[in-house]
Structure 1
Amino acid sequence: MKRYLQLAAQFEKMIANGTFEPGMRLPSVRQASSSYRVSASTVFHAYYMLERRGLIVAKPRSGFFVTRRPALTRSVTIASTRNVDDAEGDSRVVRFMQAQRRCAHPGLGASEPSAQLFPFGRLSRSWTSATRRMGLSWNGLSAGKAETDLRRQIALRYIATGVAVPIDEVVVTSGALDALTLCLQVLTRPGDTIAIERPAFHAVQGAVRRLHLRTVEIPVDPHHGLDLVALADALQQHPVRACWFVTTLHHPTGATLSDQRKEALVVLLAKHGVPLIEDDVFRELHFGASPARPAKRFDSNGLVLHCGSFSKTLAPGLRVGWVAAGRFASRIEHARWMAMSSACVPAQYAIADYLEHGDYDRGLRKLRRDLALLQAQTIQAVLRYFPEGTSVVRPPGGFFLWVELPDGVDAMHLFEIAEANDIAIAPGAIFSSGSEFRHHVRLNYGRPWTQDVERELHTLGKLARRLAAERVAVNDSREGPEHMTGEEP
């Protein structure tokens, strides 16, 4: 066993037996390195593993602390369904999108990784080859050939996940959101209730609003993922027609369900006959030694509609996605035709060619290595520059960090003053239809590390520290006279 695994196991045992109680500080990296006669890198790796398991949390300029594990508040979340017609929520999302366009530095708030991380040189050769093959046959016949080629390549890639997906079950769409929305259209009618996550990607709220649906929100823990007990309660209490969940590298928290919990999720939903729309656009960016498997791997009833995209792993902006729709494939296909929605034909040809000849897996391995390094650099910068009390959960992949700010720092306020400094971020409030996550921000680390990137994080941290200091000053001014005189209020 590798030394960092042994060290992590030792600390985990001490946490379990109470040697280190919740809230206690672990030995510093230097202390642990000296005591256990290992390198600082080994200690960091051990602590990062414990952090991913939710046992400890890093605090800026303070070290690593044993985590308190508060119970998730299920009753509040699923006591009743919500009509997603929140005008304030709409306004927050619009302001966020406007900031993305207006700010000179939108990268920290972006929803896509930087194009600089992708192999556009090799992909452009596939694009050239695709247009050459099409020649003058720019018609429905060439479109059908492009889609068939791409569907075949997608079906072949499922084999590596242990899933046998017939080519006829794969429906190519104009991006993942198109696939997800088509699934909702087929599975629901206006007024129906669906289960979504809390927090959830802001586009989820927009999609269910457009289709006039009601939602029941299931909490997601940043360490452990979707709360299956809360989901079971919701299925008992509400007429849930479908679920829309991100099972691997949840957006925005980065949480990933284990294979055991994915299987339990599929079994639970099958028991109630409820389809799962699996939003799985991030899974191939998982950093683990073995690839993460989709929940669809455990589906034997055709109830999992597995949606994917190439925008996070190959080429942002191409807008090519798909759904492996199981028993619903023909209905999804019909809905796509009725909506006159289709992916760009040259893009389908180019991606199919790249998947077949371009060594897609090698490109993915490089992308994962790059993102893992960028993640470490960004976390170090956040811990260095942000105010004391900030916590960061280290996700096992992807390109987002879910950052919790101290109680005195309102993320919407930070968003506003960051925008005034030409920096765009994603405040936590846009990831819920309510007013939750006011102390959270989502940061994108999926772009090459430069002095400009570090300068943005330094500026953002300085602004957050200023807000924290202002709150402390306000609290001191309120309490000061009473403490000085000793008089009762």
Structure 2
Amino acid sequence: MVDYKYKIFTDSLEKNIREGVLKPGYKLPSVRVLKEQYQTSISTIQKGYEYLMLIGLVESVPKSGYFVAHQQQEPIEAPLKAYPVVRDAVFKQHLGLMSAQEEERNVSAFNVATPGDVFMPQQLILRTMQQVIREEGASLLRYYPASGSPVLKGRIITRATRHQTYIHEEALLLTDGALQALYIALAAVCEVGDVIAVESPCVFSVLEVIRMLRLKVVEVPIDLRTGFDIDFFKQACDKNNIKALVVTPNFNNPTGLSLSNEQKIALIALVHRYNVALIENDMYSDLYFQGERPSLIKRYDDSGLVLSYGSYAKTLAPGIRLGWLSAGKFMARAEQIKFALGSSVSPIYQETVSRILAGTAYDRHLRSFRLQLAKNAHFAMHLIADNFPTETTFVRPQGGYHLWVRMPDTTDMSAFYALCDQIGVKFTPGSIFSFSGAYDRFFRMIFADRFSKEKIEAIRLLGRAIR
């Protein structure tokens, strides 16, 4: 918390005014008197009086000085009539299943798909942000270009070229996070009632955007051995006028699986053949466990049909609300939709991320983060395998921070989640990863936080209870 210099005199004045020691209309000491009394600068005293005026305790009378403000008696009003607020109960429940809740501090939460506090590069982010504020000053309070900072866009493009993906600056938009980027992409490609294809299982937030845009959906299954079912997608294109495909090519949420380069090339051939826009999620590609960063599908596209989007919420911190969208041939429409949603992304986020990407600190953080995630993935798999029923299966993640677990057919899932609540363990139920309810026996476990003794013991206790 910032300790302002003027508090050396405002604290006592504020206390005396609030307690009635100094009455309304009482003339307060002049700026010069307080300057001499507290041996500080005139500007500090003036700022202190401005603060007291801002909170309504002091008023300034020109050529007379500062006085204790006359407190206006608040009129007593009849209580407002309360009207019922209509909420979508299903949406509220699903949101709670995948979000952090303030009242659940003591719960062993494995349901929030964000890095834990100890894995965020807090010092790097805060130090850079403070530097930005010092150096950029009031310019951060103005609008930035509607499509985003050219410098930051240039750095995003430079990073993309490292894995043979070429993004045109004219087709790149900065957005308020990845979900807004997805919304813009779908709205730019589709109209109400259009049919789109989506990988299944698919994260709830993506499904919610699809629902809000009132699109029809064909769910393309992800085989837990071979990955995204390309033949199923081809059949869907043969039978339907598919306008878009939404897919996470690298480390799908929740399965952690990726498309091979051969599958990516095959998908490009299909979207070209059927003239389908392909919208790919690039949020997890930097979080690979072995080898090199996997490529995007956009690498293989020369038609402009592929729209790629990503953000820094999964690699830096969830509070950094900054995403990007490479909109391809749909840029003109995407730019209009982005402007309608808000003309500019927060300048301080743009400048902070731009500076972090400029040096080597981001790559150093990623190396450390990937190593910890790989260790946590290994630990999570062993924790489940050693404590849950022997028929429990899971998908070995290749990157990201999701473990997709299937409970045995004999498990009563309602009783299982009741035990989770009783013990204080929170997973994300598989049912919310599809419109069909096909994954009722699955749950997603996030391993992007430290495994405390309490969390480990909670998993072991749960395992003993369900065996």
TM-score w.r.t. structure 1 length?
0.74
Structure 1 range deviating more: 146-155 or 162-171: 146-155
Q: Give the drift of 1:427.
A: 0.8
Q: Which amino acid aligns with 1:235?
A: C
1:362 aligns with 2:381: no
For residue 255 of structure 1, give the secondary structure of its aligned residue in structure 2: coil
| 1:409-467: CA deviation from partner (whole Å, max 9, x where unpaired) | 244542233123322110111111122111111001111232122112213323432xx
Give yes or no for the alignment of 1:96 onto 2:107.
no
CA contact (8 A) 2:140 2:348 kept: no
Kept after mapping to 2: 8 A contact 1:412/1:429: no
Q: Which amino acid aligns with 1:185?
A: A
Shift of 1:307: 0.7
**2:462 equivalent to 1:460:** yes
- How far 1:99 sits from its partner (Å)? 7.8
3-state SS in 1 of match to 2:426: coil
Task: In structure 2, list runs of 5 or more residues that go unmatched.
Answer: 1-87
The alignment partner of 2:139 has SS state of coil
Query: Which residue does 1:324 correspond to in 2?
Result: 326
CA deviation string 1:69-91 (max 9, x = no partner) = xxxxxxxxxxxxxxxxxx89647
| Structure of higher CA gyration radius | 2
The answer for the alignment partner of 1:42 in structure 2 is none
**Is 1:441 matched with 2:422?**
no
**What residue in structure 1 maps to residue 56 of structure 2?**
none
Find 1:298's aligned residue among 297, 300, 310: 300
| 2:399 alignment partner, one of 397, 405, 421 | 397
Output the CA distance in 2 between the equivalents of 1:298 and 1:393.
28
Q: CA deviation at 1:313?
A: 1.0
**Alignment correspondent of 1:230:** 232
- TM-aligned CA deviation for residue 97 of structure 1: 4.9
Q: Within 5 A, what are the aligned runs for 1:39-118?
A: 90=91, 93-94=94-95, 96-97=97-98, 100-103=101-104, 104-105=106-107, 107-118=109-120
CA contact (8 A) 1:274 1:303 kept: yes
Whole-angstrom distance in 1 between the partners of 2:357 and 2:100: 35
Query: Which stretch has the larger CA shift, 93-102 or 364-373?
Result: 93-102
Match of 2:137 in 1: 135
Counterpart residue number, 2:216: 214
* CA pair 464-329 structure 1, distance change in 2 beyond 3 A: farther
One-letter identity of the residue aligned with 2:94:
V
Deviations 1:91-146 (A, max 9, x none): 75145257845433253111212131121112222111211232122444556697
The letter of the residue matching 2:449 is R
Q: How many angstroms apart in 2 are the aligned matches of 1:185 and 1:146?
A: 20
CA 1:226–1:410 in 2, change beyond 3 Å: closer, same or farther? farther
Query: What secondary structure, in the 3-state scheme, does the structure 2 residue paired with 1:135 have?
Result: helix
CA contact (8 A) 2:128 2:355 kept: yes
Residue 63 of structure 2 corresponds to none
Aligned-residue RMSD, C-alpha: 2.0
- TM superposition shift of 1:267: 1.2
Q: Percent identical across equivalent pairs?
A: 29
Q: Which residue in 1 is equivalent to 2:425?
A: 423
1:280 to 275, 278, 282: 282
Q: Distance in 2 between matches of 1:412 and 1:202?
A: 20
Output the CA distance in 2 between the equivalents of 1:367 and 1:427. 26
Give me the whole-angstrom Cα distance separating, in 1, the residues matched to 2:213 and 2:144. 33
Q: Give the letter aligned to residue 378 of structure 1.
A: A
AA aligned opposite 1:93: H
Aligned-residue offset at 1:224: 2.2
Distance 2:96 2:122 in 1: 32
d(CA) in 2 for partners of 1:132 and 1:91?
Answer: 40
> Given the two structures, how large is their TM-score scaled by the length of structure 2?
0.77
Cα distance change on mapping 1:203 and 1:413 into 2, 3 Å: farther
Of residues 265, 282, 289 in structure 2, which corresponds to 1:263? 265
Shift in CA distance, 463/197, structure 1 to aligned 2, threshold 3 Å: farther
Maintained 8 Å contact 2:298/2:306: yes
State the distance in 2 between where 1:300 and 1:456 align.
Answer: 51
> Distance in 1 between the 2:350 and 2:99 partners?
31
Measure the CA separation in 1 of the matches of 2:424 and 2:322: 31
1:281/1:307 contact within 8 Å kept: yes
CA distance in 1, matches of 2:131, 2:231: 51
Check the 8 A contact 1:100/1:424 in 2, yes or no: no
Instruction: Specify the code of the residue in structure 2 equivalent to 1:257.
Output: L
Find the partner of 2:315 among 313, 316, 319: 313
Q: Once the two structures are superposed, what CA deviation does each residue of 1:234-293 show, in whole Å capped at 9, x if it has no partner?
A: 000011111111111011111111011111111111111100010121111011212211
- CA shift in 2, pair 1:144/1:340, >3 Å: closer
1:248 maps onto 2:250 in alignment: yes
Q: CA deviation at 1:359?
A: 2.4
CA gap of 1:414–1:355, structure 2 versus 1, over 3 A, is same
**Which secondary structure state, in structure 2, belongs to the residue aligned with residue 447 of structure 1?**
coil
Counterpart code for 1:186:
A
Q: Is the 8 A contact 2:322 2:345 kept in 1?
A: yes
- Matched residues in 1 for 2:250 and 2:172: separation? 20
Cα distance change, pair 353–381 in 1 and its aligned pair in 2 (3 A): same
Residues 194 and 146 of structure 1: is their aligned pair in 2 closer, same or farther, counting only changes over 3 Å?
Answer: closer
Cα distance in 2 for residues equivalent to 1:146 and 1:435 = 39
Shift in alpha-carbon separation, 1:225–1:324, aligned structure 2, 3 A: same
Q: CA deviation at 1:371?
A: 0.5
Q: How many Å apart are 1:358 and its aligned residue?
A: 4.5
Structure-1 residue corresponding to 2:197: 195
Aligned to 2:158: 156
Distance (Å, rounded) in 1 between the aligned partners of 2:320 and 2:245:
27
Report 1 or 2 for greater relative contact order, CA contacts < 8 Å, sequence distance ≥ 6. Answer: 1
Decide whether aligned partners of structure 1 residues 332 and 365 sit closer, same or farther in structure 2, where only a CA change above 3 A counts. Answer: same
Q: Residues 327 and 145 of structure 1: is their aligned pair in 2 closer, same or farther, counting only changes over 3 Å?
A: closer
Q: Secondary structure of the residue that 1:441 maps to in structure 2? A: strand
- Where structure 1 has 5 or more consecutive residues not aligned to the other structure, the ranges are 1-86, 466-489
Task: Quote the residue 1:383 is aligned against.
Answer: 385
